[in-house]
Structure 1
Amino acid sequence: MFLNSNFYEPGKTRAEKQYVHAASKQNQRYDKRRCNEWRDVELTYGGNWGVVAVTLMDTKVLAQVSCDIGPPSAARPNEGKLQLNVSIGGVAFLDEAQSTYEQRNLTLNSQLERIFCISRCLDLESLCVAAEKHVWWIRVDINVLNHDGSLHDACSIATLAALMHFRRPDVTYTDDELRIYTEKERELIPLLFLHYPVSVTYSICKSSPQPLVDPTLMEENAADSVIVLSFNSYQELCTLNLGGCAPTNVMTIMQCARNAATRCKAMVEFIRKTLGLDEERRLQSNVPKPALLALLGENKQKFSFKQLMEGYQKPETPRPRDSPMEVDDAEVCEKPNVQEVSVKKEQPKKEESGWKTFSKKEQHAALMETGNWLPEEPMNDHELPTTSKAATVKAAKAKNLTKNKAIKRPQQFERKQHYSISDSSDSEEETTQVI
């Protein structure tokens, strides 16, 4: 039925790795995409609230949301709970006997918990019915039907769309009595969100100058490193996972993050549009509700990203990893002002004063003549002059002036002779020079 119907995982052989690396050098991929192009995302909503199927070419994920009332945790008695359960048993080549099954399952579970639970995308306080007694427990079951790359992206889109599509029943708690109303008695209530996170995956090859966005399974296995970025609709970074052995510089990660933030914002707008279209479809009584098996087939109720988001701006091409840090493209394209450049050229250089006007030989000769390269001999306590404070200040100023004159005109000073500590010998070896 699907592409990976056997136990063979593509991208592990040496020939496939060489093929992926050679194609990425030429900005080409085996599915006729460029390095910076995404695959089309298709959403299909089920008949029940909170049932969503996501199709990313051959990657297919089904998410379903359910709710129940239970006791809160002791640490947060006035907040509800959000639980995520991922199952990849539907993928044929990821058998339970293989080591890749547990590794991928744990990685995917932890990644989704960081995106939705730890980042607190839901307003859990709104799920409280009675503090320290009853709260709503929201459970999201994610079933991976087929895996052909970018599984984190498909699962995050399916989880977010299912939570936004879900409606919980209304409930009241009076006189220690809990009553849950049906859909006919009262309207169902949607969940409240604080932000809307979505993840984007990049694969990096050592031989390629730019990363591959939305990689397939073969490209993920053949790549040297994989970057998973998650942003919300406010273009704020939620999580960042970087694993592998390929060296990546700051410019590559920043360019990937910029494109991922734009992609996540567009994906949230796409989900909101599909929710509005699905609500219009539900108001029509003659439209049949899709069954569970019809979610993955070709039907009229499937929403495509390329069709609804025609004006979506394409992402920028990331710069090579080895290129030096440069300014933005908008700043580079701007032409410099000719008048400013001419003014800068016409400005004369300021004349340097002090030691900079003399060469190193002249400075050395001046120091040797004036004797400033030797420390001054300390005076004894009984030889210190007893003068007033004003006199000492004037003496210090006069001393500074004489030093400045000595620097500007070093040849006018008389030569002073300094002898060594031992007067018995005049050899250069026994003289102590302190610089």
Structure 2
Amino acid sequence: MATVQVSEAEKVYILHGIRDDLRVDGRGCEDYRHMEIETDVVSNTDGSAKVTLGHTAVLVGIKAEIGKPRPMIPDEGYLEFFVDCSANATPEFEGRGGEELGTELSNTLYKVFNNKHSLDMKSLCISPGEHCWVLYVDVLLLQCDGNLYDAMSVAIKAALFNTKIPRVNISSDDEGGKEIELSDDPFDCMRLNVENVPCVVTLCKVGHRHVVDATLQEKTCSVASLIISVTQKGTVTCARKVGGGSLDPESVFEMTEAGKRVGKALHAPLMKLLQQEESLGKKRHKVGFLG
């Protein structure tokens, strides 16, 4: 993960500010930076979105292709994730560093999104055991200023909301086989229900408190972080601890409760924003989410 150099005096200043619920940029411990969301930004995809959180920028493109269902779940489709860390984002992403981080991020995204609790996977089934929709989710990290997981989750949810999957007509041919025909009408498409798609909230333990949406400077002062994916109802679907330090049980409980609270507060304005954008036909909004 990208890091910055912070002096001991700066660390003391950051720690004392967080202790008093006043961070360097003026936010409280559970406040997000301003977030800019732009959808339908890549023309050759079925859905796309770009999210800028502080100076962290993430671009997501989704392509829907017909594939074969997995043997264990023949009546469901699935998602495939690929994360590319641009070397322009930070020098640490050059070479193997970017590949290792991309693999780590992809594995976490599988756990968060690729399950029946996040999306109705059965709606992606075309013909049980034979054909289904596979959504290839490509994530590109354009710029890194901390809090990659949260920015990625919002971008993926926005891109899934923006995704339009062509309608499929299945007919039988003269030999008893099945023919699949895709609709040519761009308005004759299937949309995904993303209400239950979780958002990720990353909480960094700094001193005796925890902060949401940590900057790279705050991340340097953190001993460990807790990544929590939360649905709009406050249900935790995935939790993962990252970092070399340890978290005591009381801190884990407090951070989990804070993550649920912040996650629920994040969903409502995000869905309202996406629905408003859809109805007005606008593609760009700038909004600040507060925990």
* TM score, norm. by length of structure 1: 0.59
Number of aligned residue pairs: give it.
281
Aligned residue number for residue 266 of structure 2? 267
Give, as a single letter, the amino acid of the residue that structure 2 aligns with 1:302. Answer: H
Contact 2:223/2:246, CA 8 A, preserved across alignment: no
Aligned residue number for residue 91 of structure 2? 93
CA distance in 2 between counterparts of 1:156 and 1:27 reads 26
- Asked if 1:45 is matched to 2:39, the reply is yes
SS in 2 for 1:132: coil
Residues 257 and 69 of structure 1: is their aligned pair in 2 closer, same or farther, counting only changes over 3 Å?
same
Give, as a single letter, the amino acid of the residue that structure 1 aligns with 2:31. Answer: E
Deviation string 1:143-179 (CA, Å, 9 cap, x unpaired) is 1111111100000111111112211010111101110
Deviation string 1:154-208 (CA, Å, 9 cap, x unpaired) is 0011111111221101011110111000225x52110245822111111113xx2
Contact 2:75/2:128, CA 8 A, preserved across alignment: yes
- Asked if 1:257 is matched to 2:256, the reply is yes
CA distance in 2 between counterparts of 1:55 and 1:130 reads 38
Deviation string 1:103-159 (CA, Å, 9 cap, x unpaired) is 422221111111001464121211111222211111111111111111000001111
Aligned residue number for residue 82 of structure 1? 79
- Cα distance, 1:262 vs. partner? 2.4
Write the mapping of 1:9-408 to structure 2, written as runs, cut at 5 A: 9-11=3-5, 16-46=10-40, 50-89=47-86, 90-97=88-95, 100-118=97-115, 120-175=117-172, 176-184=178-186, 187-193=188-194, 195-205=196-206, 208-244=207-243, 246-282=245-281, 301-306=284-289, 315=291
* TM score, norm. by length of structure 2: 0.86
Contact 2:34/2:286, CA 8 A, preserved across alignment: no
Residues 193 and 22 of structure 1: is their aligned pair in 2 closer, same or farther, counting only changes over 3 Å?
closer
CA distance in 1 between counterparts of 2:85 and 2:243 reads 23
CA RMSD of aligned residues (A): 2.5
Give, as a single letter, the amino acid of the residue that structure 2 aligns with 1:178. Answer: I
- Cα distance, 1:9 vs. partner? 3.7
Contact 2:40/2:162, CA 8 A, preserved across alignment: no
Aligned residue number for residue 380 of structure 1? none
**Structure 1 unpaired stretches of 5+:** 1-7, 291-300, 307-313, 316-435
CA distance in 2 between counterparts of 1:71 and 1:148 reads 39
Contact 2:224/2:245, CA 8 A, preserved across alignment: yes
Aligned residue number for residue 402 of structure 1? none
CA distance in 2 between counterparts of 1:247 and 1:72 reads 40
Residues 275 and 37 of structure 1: is their aligned pair in 2 closer, same or farther, counting only changes over 3 Å?
closer
Moved over 6 A (4+): none
Aligned residue number for residue 375 of structure 1? none
Give, as a single letter, the amino acid of the residue that structure 2 aligns with 1:173. Answer: I
**Structure 2 unpaired stretches of 5+:** 173-177
Residues 57 and 256 of structure 1: is their aligned pair in 2 closer, same or farther, counting only changes over 3 Å?
same
Deviation string 1:345-382 (CA, Å, 9 cap, x unpaired) is xxxxxxxxxxxxxxxxxxxxxxxxxxxxxxxxxxxxxx
Deviation string 1:43-97 (CA, Å, 9 cap, x unpaired) is 1122555211111111111111110112222222222121111111241322323
CA distance in 2 between counterparts of 1:102 and 1:20 reads 31
For CA contacts below 8 A with separation 6 or more, give which structure has more relative contact order: 2
CA distance in 1 between counterparts of 2:62 and 2:125 reads 18
Give, as a single letter, the amino acid of the residue that structure 2 aligns with 1:35. Answer: C
**Which structure has greater helix proportion?**
1
CA distance in 1 between counterparts of 2:114 and 2:121 reads 10
CA distance in 2 between counterparts of 1:259 and 1:16 reads 26
Determine which structure has more spread, i.e. the larger CA radius of gyration.
1
Contact 1:17/1:223, CA 8 A, preserved across alignment: no
CA distance in 2 between counterparts of 1:165 and 1:181 reads 18
Give, as a single letter, the amino acid of the residue that structure 2 aligns with 1:281. Answer: L
Deviation string 1:288-334 (CA, Å, 9 cap, x unpaired) is xx6xxxxxxxxxx324145xxxxxxx65xxxxxxxxxxxxxxxxxxx
SS in 2 for 1:280: helix
- Cα distance, 1:14 vs. partner? 5.2
Residues 245 and 86 of structure 1: is their aligned pair in 2 closer, same or farther, counting only changes over 3 Å?
closer
- Cα distance, 1:102 vs. partner? 3.5
**Which structure has greater strand proportion?**
2
CA distance in 1 between counterparts of 2:62 and 2:77 reads 15
CA distance in 2 between counterparts of 1:195 and 1:35 reads 26
Contact 1:11/1:217, CA 8 A, preserved across alignment: no
CA distance in 2 between counterparts of 1:209 and 1:168 reads 47
CA distance in 2 between counterparts of 1:24 and 1:275 reads 32
Task: Work out the percentage of aligned pairs sharing the same amino acid.
Answer: 25
- Cα distance, 1:26 vs. partner? 4.2
Give, as a single letter, the amino acid of the residue that structure 2 aligns with 1:45. Answer: T
